[in-house]
Structure 1
């Protein structure tokens, strides 16, 4: 009997992926700074860790933000760093970089030199979804209220 290697490429379910990215978009809007200018930052505390969402770039239909872990790092584990692009016209958000690395491909052949999973892009965006749900439901954010807003 001879063994055959599976050479089928991974094919991502586009409706499933877009639904995930739509959910990420809605939740990410809740974590953006109230000032939607480039360089604006909003900090969120989740458990013993603090994270910052910073607007890195903005165009007519897109916005690039970075999510960076500020405190609560575990020794030996790289702190969280994600670059997410929001597409306002399509109302989706997806990770375009993680941990300062190159862009994420839609799928990877397996095995590969860096040992990426076949569906690495989907898994990263699913992680973003879980993180956003935790932040929206259990996170604490500093409110920037203007107490002198024209009132005595």
Structure 2
């Protein structure tokens, strides 16, 4: 007698995901540039790496920011690049693009041709949480002193 097991579809825990996105929102606010206009950016030094947090787009209820690793990446590893959408009415932030790829689906069938994990969207946002915590707790803002402007 042979048994065929029905493959269970991945179902994301919405309360767990929203809690993660709420934590990301609070920490992402701390890394935004003082002026939240399109094109403004803030540099963050974390260890030997430098990251740029740039405001890409703003609307009434949302802000899109990009996080790009500018220095300190290993030659064999692509530098970090994330696009994060902050929803100000719901006070959540989530990754919408990563490494210049298409939008991230909520879940993927497994196995799939691109070898995405079933819960890839959750894992990416959990990575964003860890990265934001590291930046807020251990990162340093890169200061650009303008000697000709009389600041020094």
* TM norm structure 2: 0.92
What residue in structure 1 maps to residue 125 of structure 2?
Answer: 125
CA distance, structure 1, for counterparts of residue 5 and residue 81 of structure 2? 36
What residue in structure 2 maps to residue 19 of structure 1?
Answer: 19
Give the CA deviation at 1:3: 5.0
CA distance, structure 1, for counterparts of residue 130 and residue 36 of structure 2? 24
Deviations 1:122-145 (A, max 9, x none): 000000000000000000003579
Deviations 1:84-142 (A, max 9, x none): 00000000000000000000000000000000000000000000000000000000003
Provide the secondary structure at the position in 2 that maps to 1:75. Answer: coil
CA distance, structure 2, for counterparts of residue 80 and residue 5 of structure 1? 39
Give the CA deviation at 1:49: 0.1
Unmatched segments (≥5 aa) in structure 1: 146-152
What residue in structure 2 maps to residue 2 of structure 1?
Answer: 2
Q: Please, what is the CA RMSD of the aligned residues?
A: 1.4
CA distance, structure 2, for counterparts of residue 11 and residue 17 of structure 1? 11
Structure 1 residue 107 corresponds to structure 2 residue 112:
no
Unmatched segments (≥5 aa) in structure 2: 146-152
Aligned pairs, number: 145
CA distance, structure 2, for counterparts of residue 15 and residue 110 of structure 1? 23
Output aligned runs, 1:1-152, within 5 Å: 1-142=1-142
Aligned CA distance change for structure 1 residues 37 and 144 (closer, same or farther; 3 Å): farther
Provide the secondary structure at the position in 1 that maps to 2:65. Answer: strand
CA distance, structure 2, for counterparts of residue 3 and residue 108 of structure 1? 25
Deviations 1:20-73 (A, max 9, x none): 000000000000000100000000000000000000000000000000000001
Give the CA deviation at 1:5: 4.5
